[in-house]
Structure 1
């Protein structure tokens, strides 16, 4: 598994841009490994396993996911899948010279945003079910920064480095058997210019 894959071709960008594929990739990323049946159960909307399998194969065709070693010791009838990389990087700069690529990038960004929005709305609906400690640890902030384009890029890189440090810390703790009290926390960062 590679650490980070940068998507630079329009075909892969389009393959990733389907809402169900983004959801399946995200669910697979969260679980580490899963079968189509497990992912279909997690959707809670009656999506057929055959449709999930189809979309998983499309993600695999573009190298976004790969077959994983079996976890259940079963008879091999069902495939186990995992992300083919630890993270994906998709930069608008790689697609700005192609109208088709720019449109595909914007479409994928919208799908990803909508799914992040849904995650946060789900948290809001379920907040009372979390302990006070977790409720107090959650955050919803926004900031306005007067910056140059170079400064915004620098700020983004610094924020990514901080998040990566905590990802590494959590992985190391769990690898050492210290998973007590750990939950998956979603960190959504957006940095963009706008004029009021």
Structure 2
């Protein structure tokens, strides 16, 4: 089983990951848990050769790895994420401006892709049951916090979400897949200033 978390701390890996198609492939592979290039190509609408190339690039940087074959076809190469989750933390990068810039580029692409995923959900919301439409949420909170309090909040939210991920994995391992769907949870916690605050 892959480790829980991989921290990206080097420029080469950041740049390799900050590619729209590679991010899309990584997300699709994370959802599937294991897949071949041809399976992923069908999901993302790209040629198998192009998908294979980008999967190899992700593997070169240790972001994904080969998985045990899931079928009898020995020609198929199966892949899986190298870790349950990836993190890029400012404290690992702050001494190097080029790393901070690469993190910014990665974060902007992720933001665009997450917004597109949510827009797609909104466009397709009528196809979901009343239970799913009621369970989904979109919320904004505007507390006044210190930096340490915001960091504590992030750790608590991470622990809570990981608890539910573990529940889902345990249930699926036991064969209980009834009613389970892929769920995207996007959280952002960042400071901002009002116009009044910004004035000298």
Same fold (TM over 0.5): yes
User: CA offsets, 1:90-144, max 9 Å, x none?
Assistant: 1022122212111100000111111111110110000000000000101010010
For residue 2 of structure 1, give the secondary structure of its aligned residue in structure 2. coil
* TM-score, structure 2 normalization: 0.94
Residue in 2 that maps onto 1:166 = 164
Residue in 1 that maps onto 2:198 = none
Residue in 1 that maps onto 2:197 = none
1:157 corresponds, among 155, 158, 162, to 155
User: CA offsets, 1:1-54, max 9 Å, x none?
Assistant: 22211111111111111111111001000001111111111013xx21111111
1:105 and 2:99 are equivalent in the alignment: no
Calculate the aligned-residue CA RMSD, in Å: 0.9
Mapped partners of 1:93, 1:14: distance in 2: 18
Residue in 1 that maps onto 2:117 = 119
* TM-score, structure 1 normalization: 0.96
For residue 86 of structure 2, give the secondary structure of its aligned residue in structure 1. strand
Mapped partners of 1:184, 1:18: distance in 2: 23
Residue in 1 that maps onto 2:182 = 184
Mapped partners of 2:174, 2:47: distance in 1: 38
Residue in 2 that maps onto 1:56 = 55
Residue in 2 that maps onto 1:34 = 35
Unaligned runs of 5+ residues in structure 1 are none
The alpha carbon displacement at 1:78 in A equals 2.4
Q: Which piece of structure 1 moves more, 10-19 or 88-97?
A: 88-97
Unaligned runs of 5+ residues in structure 2 are 195-200
For residue 4 of structure 2, give the secondary structure of its aligned residue in structure 1. strand
Mapped partners of 1:139, 1:38: distance in 2: 31
Mapped partners of 2:41, 2:174: distance in 1: 31
Mapped partners of 1:173, 1:126: distance in 2: 27
Mapped partners of 2:18, 2:40: distance in 1: 18
For residue 5 of structure 2, give the secondary structure of its aligned residue in structure 1. strand
Residue in 1 that maps onto 2:134 = 136
Mapped partners of 1:171, 1:34: distance in 2: 18
1:24 and 2:25 are equivalent in the alignment: yes
